[in-house]
Amino acid sequence: MTREGGRLGLSPSSRLRPRPAMPRPFDTTTAVPPGSAADRLDRVVAALFPGLVPSRAAAKAACKRGDVLVDGVPAEPSRFVAAGQQLTLLPHSGPLPAPFPLALEVAYEDDAIAVVVKPPGLPVSGNQHRTLRHALSANLAASPRPDALRLPEPAHRLDAATSGLVAIGKTASALAALNAAFASRDVAKRYRAVVVGRLEGEGAITVPLGGRPCETRYAAVQHGAAVRCGWLTVVDLWPLTGRTHQLRRHLAGLGHAVVGDRLYGTRGTILRGLGLFLAAVELTLPHPDDGRPVQVEIPPPRKHAALLRREARRVARLSD
């Protein structure tokens, strides 16, 4: 089953779908790689099963449930394991959490992966129930494959304030492949933003963030006059690294903060009720099955063009 809707800009589903029963995932066994230094079990599990255990906290919880075996025996997360020991991750059989009731736009979907559109203001994941992760099960079809995940899992994150495309793994192997593709930078992402001031042409920002190398490519798309800040610029952005708030920090450092940015923006460019003017609008990634490129593109949020039209009218009125 394949569904593609990103280029057509399909509207979100009008109702949530009941979740079909998921196939039972298989047990996963691997050996601690040769040459590995002895380390805590929860850290090793998080490193060896990134597609199934998204964090060290999740690995610790799996150990405490008895879902992790060391050489066939359940073990505490604090136990140290060494190279050559066999680790088995058992499928978690506890009750599924109730889905968060939110209709999502599904831009692409097949039996292995999906790409959904995250609304602005919604965290991808976290301790609270109101997250994109908890809304996925009611919006995506269950995978019929034998390594289907009990719940679909996001393969990467967007800031809560940022809207746009998020890749989802529906099977253990697909999620692991997506995680590896993001880690090796084999995924191309394009963002669309409205920034303060008149940013001309195109270029690259290579200012390190947090002492780490960083690069963002940009290209101005459109300019519009504005009452408070003189000009607004619509800009396309391509992050070549993945630092926290990279695009927002790079643009603010350039003197062109994203409109609506409460962390890095300037006073007078925070528009009440309109949020951040930054969206992930294009995603190209290798499909986990065969490596073919999957390209998904959606239109920028309507509020971007609406802001430029509104400012143009305000400037025209003041000049009369």
| Catalytic residue IDs | 159
Note the Cα 143 to chain centre separation in Å.
Answer: 20
Q: What is the DSSP string of 46-92?
A: HHH-TTT--SHHHHHHHHHHT-EEETTEE--TT-EE-TT-EEEEPPP
- Walk across the sheet containing 28-31 and list its strands: 28-31, 86-89, 68-70, 73-74
CA distance 237 to 189: 8
Neighbours of 38 (CB within 10 A): 11
Query: Two tokens at 198?
Result: 């008149």
Beta strand segments in the chain, E: 3-4, 28-31, 39-40, 68-70, 73-74, 80-81, 86-89, 105-109, 113-118, 148-154, 163-171, 188-196, 202-205, 216-226, 230-239, 278-286, 293-297
Neighbours of 268 (CB within 10 A): 10
Strand partners, 89: 28, 68
